Amino acid sequence: MATLTLQQRFDMFSDSILSNAIRSLENESDSKSLEIQAERLSTLLTMYNHVRHYYNEESLNSKFEEINYVKSRIQQQIQFLNNNSTFARRTFVIKKPTGGRPKFEVDVEAIKLLREQEFSWKKIAEIFEISPSTLGNIRKEYSIEDTIQPYSDISNNELDLLIRQIKHDNPFYGEVMIAGALKSRQIIVPRTCLRESIRRVDAFGIVTRISNVIPRRQYRVAG
């Protein structure tokens, strides 16, 4: 097996930082942990700036766009999480007596805003300290539509074909940008399916991309 170059190892390191950040964004509810991920992404941007002369402008801008997008999403989630559930409940939840079990009324716009930020329904219920069933009743009562599309019914072959086309048109797109390109086509797939498809379609993408962006120096041989 060929030895990886320093640039290949750095790109693999970068991909692992991004993957961990995305995983935290999807699963983490602790703002401190998310702040660590945001700091790591900031450090990664600084590192890319230090080695930018090894990349062409298109690949570098694509990487910056991808990192900044994930970092922005994490910062938005931190902002919401820092407004802790006590604040959210006190500000957006009203408990009305009914003569029996009290009725909870939650600010509908606050629910919509959290969902637009791609919080799960379970997480939204936790933020307002209400049960998922209560949130479900509120959604039904106020006809709150889901702004997040359900996963698309698409085969592996169809997904691979789409991703192959996206990679052909945008060879430096990473996972986040590919997901965005699919979303613009009304295609939503689980993150694991997306990663598996990218591996099938672009198994040698990193090596190919590196070979295309490493500057070639010409040397003069004496004699």
Phi and psi based region of residue 186 (left: phi greater than 0; alpha: psi -120 to 50; beta: remaining): left
Query: How far apart are the C-alpha atoms of 202 and 206, rounded to whole Å?
Result: 8
Query: How far apart are the C-alpha atoms of 171 and 59, rounded to whole Å?
Result: 8
pLDDT for the residue 158? 94
Given a contact cutoff of 8 angstroms between Cβ atoms, the answer to whether 121 and 132 are in contact is yes
Given a contact cutoff of 8 angstroms between Cβ atoms, the answer to whether 164 and 201 are in contact is yes
Mode of pairing for the β-strands spanning 93-96 and 103-106: antiparallel
Given a contact cutoff of 8 angstroms between Cβ atoms, the answer to whether 201 and 162 are in contact is no
Query: How far apart are the C-alpha atoms of 181 and 93, rounded to whole Å?
Result: 37
pLDDT for the residue 213? 45
pLDDT for the residue 51? 86
Given a contact cutoff of 8 angstroms between Cβ atoms, the answer to whether 37 and 24 are in contact is yes
pLDDT for the residue 84? 58
- Backbone φ and ψ of 105, nearest 5°: -115, 125
How would you write the pLDDT of the chain (223 residues) with one tens digit per residue? 456 677 778 888 888 899 889 888 877 777 888 899 999 999 999 999 888 888 888 888 888 999 999 999 888 888 777 765 566 666 777 777 677 777 778 888 888 888 887 778 888 888 888 889 989 999 999 899 888 778 899 999 999 999 999 988 887 788 888 888 898 888 989 888 998 898 888 765 544 444 444 444 444 545 4
Query: How far apart are the C-alpha atoms of 128 and 102, rounded to whole Å?
Result: 15
